[in-house]
Amino acid sequence: EKVLDFLYGLCKYYEGQHMVASSAAGDTLSSIKDKVYSLAAETALPVDDYKAWLTSFSADTILKGIDKLSDFLFGQLGLEFGSNAVITNGRIFVVDDGDSFLNEDLGLLESMEYELRTKYIHEIIEEVEWAGVDPDYLTSKFYSDITMLVSSSMSIRERPSERAHFEILNAEYSAIKLNSMNSSVHIDAVIDPLSPAGQKLSPLLRILSQQIQPSMRIVLNPISSLADLPLKNYYRFVLPSMDDFSSTDFSVHGPKAFFSNMPLSKTLTMNIDVPEPWLVEPVVAIHDLDNILLENLGDVRTLQAVYELEALLLTGHCMEKDREPPRGLQFILGTKQRPHLVDTLVMSNLGYWQMKVSPGVWYLQLAPGRSADLYELPSKLIAIDSLRGKLLHIEVQKKKGKEHEDLLNADDDNHVQEKTDLKDARQGETINIFSVASGHLYERFLKIMILSVLKKTERPVKFWFIKNYLSPQFKDVIPHMALEYGFEYELITYKWPTWLHKQKEKQRIIWAYKILFLDVIFPLSLRKVIFVDADQIVRTDMGELYDMDLKGRPLAYTPFCDNNKEMDGYRFWKQGFWKDHLRGRPYHISALYVVDLAKFRQTAAGDNLRVVYETLSKDPNSLSNLDQDLPNYAQHTVPIFSLPQEWLWCESWCGNATKAQAKTIDLCNNPMTKEPKLQGAKRIVPEWVDFDAEARHFTARILGENVEEIAEAIPPSSESDAPKPDHDDSSQDAKDEL
């Protein structure tokens, strides 16, 4: 504060005496020296030090320095004569009223600059190994100077102005003006009210208006003509406040969003838009959040859902020194006592990696095995100390003598047999089955699929479910179901990377999760997994499929049947683009497939699929059946082993002649009849009714409800609108989104 007071007084003196008035050089220097000594004494700074320093320079030297600084300020930075500005880390802030800029403002600016920009640069610089630099020079001043230079250089690359001149806009008839007396802040905003960005910005402006009472001008700037309404959802913004914490019992009430006057007969879907480092999930929801039909909820016609911040993300980019990303490099994260709690591998896509964490101190290191054998990386201490998660940039290098060895060694396949001791004494290697469901209807199908697998399979079974879209009800029931029927399960998740083109429709996001992240969504110890659609019925021991030799290929799918000639007009892969692209290869169905995860990772199949996806997904006419089209399109680079036809039977495509040999039955949609799925299940699969009754009775017993209530929770009218995990050429009814 002493230095700031000193500088402020000196600048005001110089402005008044030597910028406005003219003086001789000698007089100027003499008067400046006297003022420096006077101000130093007034602010309790060491006057003798200033005298010693100033007397060591001649008048010409000091004036040349002042001229050089003036040229820099006015010529290169573009400041106007007599203007007030603050320069920090290469950024220029023009102060309109110099008298209103206080020492506290400078302290706040310094704090914000450090937290938002300089802090991360400083952390990276501290980790740099300064080869060839004398250790005696590596002082705090050295690091501070380097940080200043780097942050200033980065600021030069930013846009040249922090301001836009909105005053030139003619907004007489399209602006909303809010005048606030004595406001120190004015906000200008130009919004397209029918854009997704405008939908999000509007509540932020409302919050700013409430919190800081600025004067505000909002200019509405819609697109002049639209072929289609760009907004197809209702959006609410919530912001935590201190009022969310009770002063009496310290309970957390949490911020709330309210939707009122919603359409009663329209099927709605609830989604939540959260910061990128957050993993959020519903924890309380009686009704199906994927298929909200208010007219079916009785006289009240209201529902509520509670969401919870489940975890934060630790993400990063890893590079070899002066080389490309070390794709397939494996990391583990844990504590000193338990060093391996979670793991992941590095993608070739930008060297990206991701782990799920909670606040605390963690240790990141290379996984034992080939990664630790070939590469060097000291154990890194990582502190997760905010809700922003953390982004790390890691550089690794190969050990001496290992420079030419390949990390993805096809011979390095140390298979670990998984055994378990379950209720019904199943013996042998565990069979891992992966599935995904969203909405109460498909969770009902999922329970039936689980029962059908367990009734036919003799070995231990572990189910893997994508956690993102499961209802709270299913997550409450599945632990009891696992205990009752003697199986293991695990809920897994992976946050969509920001650099990968994201799907907007919820159903297409679910399809993408079936194929895009297979190499990273499972623990590295898992060597093989079978995907089974939620609406399938298994009629054989899945151990046969699990043990099948895939001939060195990472994926195995069943080709579409050709038996039912009535469907020839719908076999799009037999004509046009697909016929030319496949060049005689079969087009496979994605309702059942096997993933050799060891081979999948060794061949970087996940990286290859993501590259193909990124190329195709930006075209709205590509990947209409995303999880099915992508592996079929990419099978020239990610080869597919074609399973025998009996492994997946579907009435629509296969016909009844081969039904008796079916090892699994898929309730795929029929684009000709469009028969509702529940109706088709009861007609096609005789045992489906018994499985359904068993699952419903079990669910009712666990939830303390009767069977009729469980059935009524899935109204028949929701079937046609429910998310469809299989594919057809029929159009889905449009659904609005909350």
Quick one: tokens of 719? 């079937």
pLDDT at 714 (0 to 100): 57
User: Cα–chain-centroid distance for residue 609?
Assistant: 19
Q: Which residues contact 567 (CB under 8 A, 6 or more apart)?
A: 652, 653, 671, 672
More confident: 619 or 92: 619
**What are 592's strand-pairing partners?**
532
More confident: 47 or 32: 47
For residue 419, pLDDT beyond 60? no
Instruction: Tell me the pLDDT of the chain averaged across its residues.
Output: 84
pLDDT at 723 (0 to 100): 39
For residue 66, pLDDT beyond 60? yes
Burial (Cβ within 10 Å: 0-12, 13-18, ≥19) of residue 646: middle
- Domain 259-406 sits in CATH at 2.60.40.10
Among all chains, which residue has been given the structure tokens 């200043």?
A: 148
Q: Could you read off the pLDDT of 149-160 as tens digits, one per residue? A: 887 777 655 555
For residue 583, pLDDT beyond 80? yes
pLDDT at 297 (0 to 100): 87
For residue 537, pLDDT beyond 70? yes
For residue 324, pLDDT beyond 70? yes
The percent of residues above 70 in pLDDT, for the chain, comes to: 86
pLDDT at 258 (0 to 100): 92
Q: Could you read off the pLDDT of 168-193 as tens digits, one per residue? A: 677 777 888 888 778 888 888 999 98
Q: Which CATH number fits domain 431-713: 3.40.50.150, 3.30.499.10, 3.40.50.970, 3.90.550.10?
A: 3.90.550.10
Specify the pairing of strand 268-269 against strand 736-737.
Answer: parallel
For residue 718, pLDDT beyond 50? no
Q: Which residues contact 138 (CB under 8 A, 6 or more apart)?
A: 130
More confident: 711 or 304: 304
Q: Which residues contact 474 (CB under 8 A, 6 or more apart)?
A: 437, 443, 446
pLDDT at 544 (0 to 100): 96
- Indicate the SS3 state at residue 735: coil
Among all chains, which residue has been given the structure tokens 């998740």?
A: 493
Q: How far apart are CA 682 and CA 687, in angstroms?
A: 8
Long-range contacts of 252-256 (CB under 8 A, 24+ apart): 254/306
**Which range among 57-71, 196-210, 712-726 has the greatest average pLDDT?**
196-210
Mean pLDDT on 687-696: 95
More confident: 669 or 482: 482
Of 663, 358, 684, give the one whose Cα is nearest residue 538. 663
For residue 706, pLDDT beyond 70? no
Q: How far apart are CA 83 and CA 74, in angstroms?
A: 10
Q: Which residues contact 271 (CB under 8 A, 6 or more apart)?
A: 233, 506, 737, 738
Question: 130-139, 560-569, 709-718: which range is least confident on average?
Answer: 709-718
For residue 727, pLDDT beyond 70? no
For 147-190, the three-class secondary structure string (H helix, E strand, C coil) is: HHHHHHHHHHCCCCCCCCCHHHCCCCCCEEEECCCCCCCEEEEE
The H or E element that residue 433 is part of is strand 431-435
Question: 9-18, 505-514, 557-566, 573-582: which range is least confident on average?
Answer: 9-18
Of 596, 604, 521, 605, give the one whose Cα is nearest residue 327. 604
For 547-589, the three-class secondary structure string (H helix, E strand, C coil) is: CCCCCCCCEEEEECCCCCHHHHHHCHHHCHHHHHHHCCCCCEE
Of 557, 643, 555, 640, give the one whose Cα is nearest residue 599. 555
Q: Could you read off the pLDDT of 386-399 as tens digits, one per residue? A: 999 999 999 999 99
CB–CB of 178/216 below 8 Å?
Answer: yes
pLDDT at 617 (0 to 100): 92
Q: Could you read off the pLDDT of 331-356 as tens digits, one per residue? A: 999 999 999 999 999 999 899 999 99
Q: Where are the alpha helices (DSSP H) in 583-727?
A: 597-602, 605-616, 626-633, 651-654, 677-684, 688-703, 707-712
For residue 76, pLDDT beyond 80? no
Question: 75-89, 517-531, 680-694: which range is least confident on average?
Answer: 75-89
Question: 70-79, 206-215, 290-299, 463-472: which range is least confident on average?
Answer: 70-79
**Cα–Cα distance list, 152 to 95, 116, 120, 127, 163 (Å):** 20, 14, 14, 19, 19
Mean pLDDT on 511-519: 95
Domains 259-406 and 431-713 share a fold: no
- Write down the pTM of the prediction: 0.75
Q: How far apart are CA 5 and CA 457, in angstroms?
A: 80
Q: How confident is the model at residue 36 (pLDDT cuts 50, 70, 90)?
A: confident
Q: How far apart are CA 409 and CA 412, in angstroms?
A: 5
State the DSSP string of 507-543.
HHHHHHHTTTTHHHHS-TT--EEEEE-TTEEE-S-TH
Q: How far apart are CA 294 and CA 302, in angstroms?
A: 7
For residue 414, pLDDT beyond 80? no
For residue 448, pLDDT beyond 90? yes
The H or E element that residue 105 is part of is helix 103-113
More confident: 26 or 501: 501
For residue 503, what is the DSSP state? P
pLDDT at 454 (0 to 100): 97
Mean pLDDT on 587-600: 96
pLDDT at 711 (0 to 100): 55
Q: How far apart are CA 240 and CA 245, in angstroms?
A: 9
Q: How confident is the model at residue 733 (pLDDT cuts 50, 70, 90)?
A: very low
Q: How far apart are CA 665 and CA 687, in angstroms?
A: 11
For residue 99, pLDDT beyond 90? no
pLDDT at 729 (0 to 100): 43
Q: How far apart are CA 244 and CA 634, in angstroms?
A: 50
Q: How confident is the model at residue 737 (pLDDT cuts 50, 70, 90)?
A: low
Q: How far apart are CA 322 and CA 64, in angstroms?
A: 44
pLDDT at 138 (0 to 100): 78
More confident: 274 or 167: 274
Q: Where do the structural domains in the chain lie, given as residue ranges?
A: 2-156, 164-248, 259-406, 431-713
pLDDT at 103 (0 to 100): 67
Q: How far apart are CA 620 and CA 586, in angstroms?
A: 24
Q: Could you read off the pLDDT of 227-286 as tens digits, one per residue? A: 888 888 999 998 876 565 555 555 556 788 999 999 999 999 998 999 999 999 999 998
pLDDT at 701 (0 to 100): 92
